[in-house]
Amino acid sequence: MAFELPRFTRCCCCLSLRTGCLLIGYVSILIACLGLTATSISLYKVITYVLNDTHPNLPPDAVNKSALGLYVSHGYYLLVFLYLLVISSILVIGVHASKPHYLRYYFNSGLFLLLIGVTLVIVSCIFVGILATLPLLKWCFTHFLGLIVVRSTYLDMEERNIEATYKMASIYNPHLSRPLMA
């Protein structure tokens, strides 16, 4: 049994699909840049805390074990935000240039990013705690809805690129592909 994704005709009930894709792309670039910045600053704070030798009431092994979990989580966050930045740039370029294969690449990469995001939810739940997973779950749901909008835009672009006469005439008339003048 196959599960087919829904197809939207408009983004957010009022915007065209192209405008919605551009908004998704630019907002994703902004989120990726802010996420990279916040994660880098947070990682710097963790490193400076661990390198500080004064940890009252904490044995060094406990500090190192906690730091290792935070290093793994932060590294994974950096990977996800960097990947989001790259594929969001591809989305914006594809929509501006009206190149549907860029949108198809974004959709496929976005599915992979969604898988990485779900993995990040699991890793964050293990190393950071349950409260860190709630914003990530919200982001995964929002990203999934954005992927449906991008897929709808991609399908619209593909349909506009196929000429209606070529679509029907080439099926029934094999001589149509020959030049009109010899």
Going residue by residue through the chain (182 aa), what tens digit of pLDDT does each one get? Answer: 567 777 777 777 788 888 999 999 999 999 999 999 999 999 999 888 888 767 677 777 777 787 888 888 889 889 889 988 999 999 999 999 988 899 999 999 999 989 988 888 888 888 778 887 888 889 889 989 999 999 999 988 888 877 654 555 555 555 555 555 55
Identify whether 21 is part of a domain: yes
> Is 144 a member of any domain?
yes
Range of the domain at 55: 17-159
Is residue 131 in a domain? Answer: yes
176 is a domain residue = no
Query: What's the DSSP call for residue 131?
Result: G
For the chain, what is the domain count? 1
In a domain? residue 169: no
Neighbours of 153 (CB within 10 A): 27
